[in-house]
Amino acid sequence: MYDITVIGGGVVGGMIARTLSSYRLKICILEKAHDVAMGASSANSAIVHAGFDAAEGSLKARLNVRGSEMMKDICRELGVKYQNNGSLVIGFDEDDRATVEALCRRGIANGVKGVRVIDREELRALEPNISDDAICALYAPTGSIVCPYELTIASIGNAMDNGADLYLDFKVTDIRDDGDHFTVFSDREQIKTKYVINAAGLFSDAIARMVGDDSFTVHARRGEYILLDKECGTLVHHTIFRTPSKMGKGILVSPTVDGNLLTGPTSFDIEDKTDKSTTADGLSLVIKQSGENIDGVPFGKSITSFCGLRAVGSTGDFIINMPRSRFVNVAGIESPGLSSAPAIAEYVAQLLANSGLAMEPNPDFDPHREAMHGFREASIEEKNAIIQKDSAYGHIICRCESVSEGEILRAIRTNPRPRDLDGVKRRTRAQMGRCQGGFCSPYIVELLANEMNVPYESITKFGGASRINVGKTKEAEA
């Protein structure tokens, strides 16, 4: 019997599980995919928003500002890449200026530190490549960037290191209230738990309905992105937003914590919550609008394009409540969900405590997780000390990102363990460079197969039917 079952292995579920693992509670995380961080947590703008967007008094505003304040320390504890690069919302005409000024007032009311409107000259000094047509900007020095899937993986790994269990390929099909506990079913397994926390992202409305709560719905909003080579990572230093519209914050251009340049997202509501395809029109829009903000975005240096689906709730605000006893909804966590995640976890813990759950601190709780990127950033002497102990660190597997065999093996052996190529990619950056795994993926398949002691041809890209090879040569038949 678990005390707590968190449904959803995204950044929200991960942060909640980690926070709750600091108490004497038996916790599990259920994730329907083959790995954690497979939904919106792996495909978003990677921004820690300062907190000037959400309406004053909303849960979004409150948790965003608080989450943004907590993020730096949490990233340090979890060894996650984080950079305080500041955000700019640029305006092109007098209407935009009015919006920028309104945003500034809202930011101040929300408690965002240091937010102010700057003129063309100061903007140009901060960002020389900004479009000549920009006349003003909102400057939010507390805006930051983070690696979102790394944060998700690290928070779940840390929760596991502190005793939480992770069930992958566990797609919840039903939840039964057995009076003093719930039984949570998948097609193959069932789990008994006193509390359920519904952090199921796009599918949190379906999960809520399983316990009779149909007070909200969640729909998917497509966001397409184009990621550019590290060569372009210094084109801008701040995260550059357009003045927002009601569909979102528009196309942004931002460096990433790994030194690439990210542009996007588009914003289209779609029916199919599993449709993560990009569209020709969407990618064209990203290219067009980025070019309006920044001069000379070199799209010839694109290394990949992708689509993320935001979980947009029907209430306009985050939906965090207890519709019945021992069941918590954490739903409709669209932007600024990543920024808010640490504060959402804190808020949920408080909600549970208020509901009467005994929350005794776990004396063995260790908030730290060793950074996965430590080796890459080490000096030659430090690297050699590590290579002397384990020679696999001297052998480079991913050429483009210089990732060693030692780093890949360590990732494969660290909670939560990856079982597929994309899982290794998100943990190590191997295959994430300019050749996109062209050279290294055959070797990584081998490392995975050896470590998991499974046949080479059974390794997948991301679970399910996504096998990399269909069989041995001389066997295939068309």
Partner 1 sequence: MRQINLVIIGGGPAGMGAALAAYDAGVRDILILERDSALGGILQQCIHNGFGLHRFGEELTGPEYAWRYEKLVREKNIPFLLDTMVLDITSDKVITATNATDGVFQLQAKAVILAMGCRERARGALNIAGTRPAGIYSAGTAQKYVNLKGYMPGKNVVILGSGDIGLIMARRMTLEGAKVHAVCELMPYSGGLARNIEQCLNDFNIPLKLSHTVVEIHGKERLEGVTIARVDEHRRPIPETREYIPCDTLLLSVGLIPENELSKTASVTLDRVTNGAVVDQDRQTEVEGIFACGNVLHVHDLVDFVSEEADIAGKSAAAYIFGENTECTDIALSTDGKIRYTVPQRITHKKDVTVYFRVADVYRNVTIKGTSGERVICQKKKPRVAPGEMESLTLKADLLTGIDTLHFALEER
Q: Enumerate binding residues for partner 1 (CB under 8 A).
A: 226-227, 274, 276-280, 282-283, 299-300, 302-306, 380, 383-384, 387-388, 391-396, 399-400, 402, 404-405, 434-439, 441-442, 446, 456-457, 460-478
Coil/strand/helix, residue 111: coil
- Which residue among the candidates 34, 49, 238, 373 is catalytic per the annotation? 49
Q: With beta carbons less than 8 A apart as the criterion, state whether 275 and 308 touch.
A: no
The rounded distance, in Å, linking the Cα atoms of 134 and 120 is 7
Do β-strands 87-91 and 136-140 pair in parallel, antiparallel, or remain unpaired?
A: antiparallel
CB of 257 to partner 1, least distance (A): 19
Q: Nearer Cβ to partner 1, position 40 or 115?
A: 40
CB of 98 to partner 1, least distance (A): 35
CB of 221 to partner 1, least distance (A): 18
Question: Tell me, what DSSP letter sits at residue 460?
Answer: B
Give the residue from 453, 450, 459 showing the smallest Cα distance to 431: 459
Q: Nearer Cβ to partner 1, position 52 or 375?
A: 375
- CA 456 remoteness from chain centre: 30
CB of 389 to partner 1, least distance (A): 11
Residue 237 designated active-site: no
The rounded distance, in Å, linking the Cα atoms of 306 and 426 is 14
Give the residue from 215, 264, 258 showing the smallest Cα distance to 82: 258
Which single residue is written with the structure tokens 């599993």? 274
CB of 168 to partner 1, least distance (A): 15
The amino acid sitting at 266 is T
Q: Nearer Cβ to partner 1, position 120 or 383?
A: 383
- CA 253 remoteness from chain centre: 17
**How many Å is the Cα radius of gyration of the chain?**
22
CB of 300 to partner 1, least distance (A): 8
Q: Nearer Cβ to partner 1, position 93 or 275?
A: 275
Q: Nearer Cβ to partner 1, position 34 or 62?
A: 34
Question: Tell me, what DSSP letter sits at residue 392?
Answer: G
CB of 187 to partner 1, least distance (A): 17
Q: With beta carbons less than 8 A apart as the criterion, state whether 148 and 44 touch.
A: yes
Do β-strands 2-7 and 190-198 pair in parallel, antiparallel, or remain unpaired?
A: parallel
Q: Nearer Cβ to partner 1, position 18 or 425?
A: 425
Report how far apart, in Å, the C-alpha atoms of 94 and of each of 81, 89, 102, 164, 291 are. 37, 14, 12, 53, 21
Q: Nearer Cβ to partner 1, position 70 or 262?
A: 262
Task: Return the axis-axis angle of helices 59-78 and 148-161, rounded to nearest 10°.
Answer: 70
Residue 417, token pair as written in the block: 């363990």
Give the catalytic positions in this structure.
Answer: 49
